[in-house]
Amino acid sequence: MCHTPRVALLRGFVDVLFPPACQVCQTRGDFPLCAGCRAGFPLIRPPVCQKCGRPLRGPPDLTFTCIPCRHRRTHFAYARAAGVYDGPLREAIHALKFGGRQALAEPLGRLIAEVVATDPRMRVDLVVPVPLHPARLRERGFNQAELLAAEVAGYLSIPLRPTALRRVRVTPAQTGLGREDRRANVRGAFGSREPLEASTILLVDDVMSTGSTGIECARALRHGGARQVVVATVALAVLDR
């Protein structure tokens, strides 16, 4: 304990010589995210599909479900994303997920929380992250979805249940896979680990594209007793369907 003031003083000198930087663009003095990058996030505004959250064209008060969502069973009630997977938002997610810049979980998790807080359909009992397989967790060292979920749970004062889901097998990365291959890749990859007592679950992940991961996680959570599952992510990769 006697060394604490000395360490704090040393850190102060380091911050003066090397100011903390934005973890996306490296602008000095703005940590972990600068105002410029934050302003450049392509946020999603209404109208959106009432099932998957995909942006739609039309007046802001339009209530509509996109055609693909009318013809598929998702197992989750609906999904929302804060922004489109593009520009500085995509760079921020990559910096967190692949660059190990875990401090970005705070502002990115806050984006999710703000969406959830303003959507009256997202009144939930528990927050659950999409899990990594233990082998992938050892390789990466952290689960970005769990970091994001912790921020969401803390901001909204909702209990976090990080062990509610488990990944029962290793799956290749979804990047580069076609729509059907994505669905096949994660089919049966998740299982419920503990009873959920008819709860409404908020499932948190970084990016949603086809929704395959959310569908399989929601299926497992429903089998575990969840009454309803809603999905919230930082970004939505808007793919042609």
- The 10s digit of each residue's pLDDT in 52-87 is 999 988 777 777 888 888 888 889 999 999 999 999
Give the tens place of pLDDT for each residue, 118-149: 999 999 999 999 999 888 899 999 999 999 99
- Specify the 3-state DSSP secondary structure of 148: helix
Burial of 180 (0-12, 13-18, 19+ CB in 10 A): exposed
Burial of 22 (0-12, 13-18, 19+ CB in 10 A): buried
More confident residue, 9 or 224: 224
pLDDT for residue 155: 97
Question: Rounded to whole angstroms, how far apart are CA atoms 71 and 58?
Answer: 22
pLDDT bracket for residue 207 (50, 70, 90)? very high
Rounded to the nearest integer, the mean pLDDT of the chain is: 86
Token pair for 174: 């979804």
pTM, rounded to two decimals:
0.86
CA angle 192, 196, 200 (to 5 degrees): 110
User: Taking 60 as the threshold, does the pLDDT of residue 88 lie above it?
Assistant: yes
Question: Rounded to whole angstroms, how far apart are CA atoms 2 and 21?
Answer: 30
- Specify the 3-state DSSP secondary structure of 236: strand
Determine phi and psi for 213, rounding to 5 degrees: -65, -45
pLDDT for residue 182: 58
User: Around 153, how many Cα atoms within 13 Å sit in the side-chain half-sphere?
Assistant: 20
pLDDT for residue 18: 60
Alpha helix stretches (DSSP H) within the chain: 4-17, 35-39, 67-70, 87-97, 105-118, 134-140, 144-156, 179-186, 212-223
pLDDT for residue 141: 93
Burial 151-169 (b: 16+ CB within 10 A, else e): bbbebbebebbeebbbbee
pLDDT for residue 16: 47
More confident residue, 42 or 188: 42
pLDDT for residue 3: 45
Note whether 75 and 58 are within 8 A (CB).
no
Instruction: Determine what percent of the chain is predicted with pLDDT higher than 90.
Output: 61
Which amino acid belongs to residue 193? R
pLDDT for residue 11: 47
User: Taking 50 as the threshold, does the pLDDT of residue 13 lie above it?
Assistant: no
Mean pLDDT of 100-126: 96
Mean pLDDT of 167-177: 65
State the fold for domain 33-236: Rossmann fold (3.40.50)
More confident residue, 186 or 65: 65
